[in-house]
């Protein structure tokens, strides 16, 4: 696909793009607020399969929050809810004081493009686009002209050490290289909030350390707020706070032993099927 076609396709689904003055501004210190968030996936039986069972969380602008937890405890689920990709069964998700799931789909897409960077655990790169084109997509969606989107995408690829692979398609990249393309794509629009789902999960120690340093430098020097799900112990060097997802709830402090995760109690007087659901 040529860049021209890419841009035409993007603009056809994004008629609201192109107004840099419409960027969201945040007042006050609290950038993220989760209130009593619960989630169970469709098909779950009553009472025994709640993934999230009452998450309350406040994150101040400029923090770097690490979210730990054993596999399958719901870290990705939580990040998808924070990113407005998955509506929780119950509770509220506020970013900059705005309730994500009270917005129209159009306003939410706009908000996500301008405010959030999301590094998906499974990358979700478009297979028919080159690495450069994949990274250009959010910039084009925000209304950047092609030459500026290309410049910013190349810069982002350089930051993650992948400028030499700009013309390669995902099928010709290693897992670690795809992960770094996904990181560049998440950073290209200079987000206010970065949601990072195991961003170093596929990288060797040295490359993972470099990526962790890069993200931490964005937090320190540019005020980027980061919420990162990770099993990478090196995050302890950078995170301003560490949380553990255990039994569907968040707990603070390194004293929490991950193996404590077990039963997932359903909230009282609440049945999953009675709840609102709007899964992406
Ligand atoms: N789309 C889905 N439909 C049904 N169940 C799902 C879906 N996505 C996740 N789950 C289930 O929700 C639970 C939490 O999954 P999630 O991916 O959030 O865990 P995780 O903590 O990110 O795990 P990991 O550390 O392996 O990435 C798991 O039991 C998983 O099988
Ligand atoms: Mg996960």
At what angle are helices 3-12 and 131-141 packed, to 10 degrees? 40
- 40-61 pLDDT, tens digit each: 988 755 555 889 999 999 999 9
Determine the atom of ligand 1 nearest the C-alpha atom of 121: 27
Can you tell me the distance from the alpha carbon of 38 to that of 78, in angstroms, rounded to the nearest whole number? 9
Distance (angstroms) between ligand 1 centre and the Cα of 75 equals: 8
Distance (angstroms) between ligand 2 centre and the Cα of 79 equals: 9
What's residue 185's pLDDT?
98
Lowest-pLDDT range of 24-28, 127-131, 156-160: 24-28
| 8 Å CB contact between 142 and 189 | yes
What's residue 28's pLDDT?
54
Section 123-146 average pLDDT:
97
In the chain the first and final C-alpha atoms are separated, in Å, by 26
CATH of domain 3-19+27-274: 3.40.50.300
Determine the atom of ligand 1 nearest the C-alpha atom of 73: 21
Lowest-pLDDT range of 13-27, 31-45, 102-116, 245-259: 13-27
Provide the pLDDT confidence category of residue 29 given band limits of 50, 70 and 90: confident
| 8 Å CB contact between 169 and 128 | yes
Determine the atom of ligand 1 nearest the C-alpha atom of 198: 27
| 8 Å CB contact between 121 and 197 | yes
Strands 193-197, 116-119: pairing kind: parallel
Can you tell me the distance from the alpha carbon of 77 to that of 86, in angstroms, rounded to the nearest whole number? 8
Distance (angstroms) between ligand 1 centre and the Cα of 74 equals: 6
Section 199-225 average pLDDT:
93
Provide the pLDDT confidence category of residue 139 given band limits of 50, 70 and 90: very high
- 172-206 pLDDT, tens digit each: 999 999 999 999 999 999 999 999 999 999 899 99
Q: Which residues make Cβ contacts (< 8 Å) with residue 146, sequence separation at least 6?
A: 3, 4, 7, 136, 140
Can you tell me the distance from the alpha carbon of 237 to that of 200, in angstroms, rounded to the nearest whole number? 14
Which residues hold their Cβ within 5 A of ligand 2, which is an ion?
75-76, 121
**At residue 256, does pLDDT exceed 50?**
no
Q: Which residues make Cβ contacts (< 8 Å) with residue 117, sequence separation at least 6?
A: 185, 186, 187, 189, 191, 193, 194, 195
Domain ranges within the chain, ordered by starting residue: 3-19+27-274
Distance (angstroms) between ligand 1 centre and the Cα of 42 equals: 12
Take atom 30 of ligand 1 and give the residue whose Cα is closest.
Answer: 72
Take atom 25 of ligand 1 and give the residue whose Cα is closest.
Answer: 71
Task: Name all residues whose Cβ lies below 6 A of ligand 1.
Answer: 41, 51, 69, 71-77, 121
Take atom 27 of ligand 1 and give the residue whose Cα is closest.
Answer: 71
Distance (angstroms) between ligand 2 centre and the Cα of 198 equals: 7
Provide the pLDDT confidence category of residue 261 given band limits of 50, 70 and 90: very low
**At residue 260, does pLDDT exceed 90?**
no
- 239-254 pLDDT, tens digit each: 999 999 999 999 986 4
What's residue 49's pLDDT?
80
What's residue 2's pLDDT?
55
* Site to substitute for ligand 1 among 43, 68, 72, most atoms within 8 A of C-beta: 72
Take atom 9 of ligand 1 and give the residue whose Cα is closest.
Answer: 77
- In the three-class reduction of DSSP (H, G, I as helix; E, B as strand; rest coil), residue 104 is classed as coil
What's residue 269's pLDDT?
38
What's residue 1's pLDDT?
52
Distance (angstroms) between ligand 1 centre and the Cα of 37 equals: 16
Section 88-114 average pLDDT:
95
State whether the Cα torsion 164-167-169-171 is positive or negative.
negative
Section 80-101 average pLDDT:
95
Q: Angle at Cα 53 formed by Cα 49 and Cα 55, nearest 5°?
A: 145
Report the chain's mean pLDDT, rounded to a whole number.
Answer: 83
Edge-first strand order for the sheet with 52-60 is: 52-60, 30-39, 90-95, 98-99
pTM of the model: 0.84
| 8 Å CB contact between 64 and 199 | no
Q: Which residues make Cβ contacts (< 8 Å) with residue 255, sequence separation at least 6?
A: none
- For 34-73, letters b (16+ CB in 10 Å) and e give beebbbbeeebeeeeebbbbbbebebebebbbbbbbeeeb
């Amino acid at each position: 696909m040529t860049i021209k076609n890419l841009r035409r396709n993007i603009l056809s689904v994004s008629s609201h793009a192109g107004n840099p003055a419409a960027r969201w501004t945040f007042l006050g210190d609290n950038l993220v607020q989760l209130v009593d968030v619960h989630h169970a996936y469709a098909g779950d039986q009553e009472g025994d399969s709640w993934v999230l069972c009452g998450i309350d969380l406040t994150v101040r602008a400029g923090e770097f929050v690490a979210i730990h937890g054993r596999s399958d405890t719901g870290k990705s689920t939580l990040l998808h809810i924070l990113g407005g990709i998955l509506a929780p069964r119950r509770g509220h998700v506020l970013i900059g004081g705005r309730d994500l799931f009270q917005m129209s789909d159009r306003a939410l897409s706009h908000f996500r493009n301008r405010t959030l960077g999301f590094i998906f655990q499974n990358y979700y790169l478009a297979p028919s686009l080159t690495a450069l084109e994949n990274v250009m997509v959010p910039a084009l969606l925000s209304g950047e002209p092609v030459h500026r989107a290309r410049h910013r995408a190349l810069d982002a690829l350089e930051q993650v050490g992948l400028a030499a692979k700009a013309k390669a398609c995902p099928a010709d990249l290693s897992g670690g290289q795809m992960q770094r393309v996904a990181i560049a794509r998440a950073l290209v629009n200079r987000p206010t909030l970065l949601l990072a789902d195991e961003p170093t999960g596929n990288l060797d120690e040295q490359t993972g350390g470099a990526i962790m340093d890069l993200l931490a430098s964005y937090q320190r020097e540019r005020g980027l707020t980061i919420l990162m799900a990770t099993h990478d112990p090196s995050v302890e060097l950078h995170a301003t706070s560490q949380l553990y997802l255990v039994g569907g709830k968040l707990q603070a402090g390194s004293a929490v032993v991950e193996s404590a995760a077990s039963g997932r109690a359903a909230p009282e007087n609440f049945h999953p099927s009675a709840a609102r659901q709007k899964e992406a």
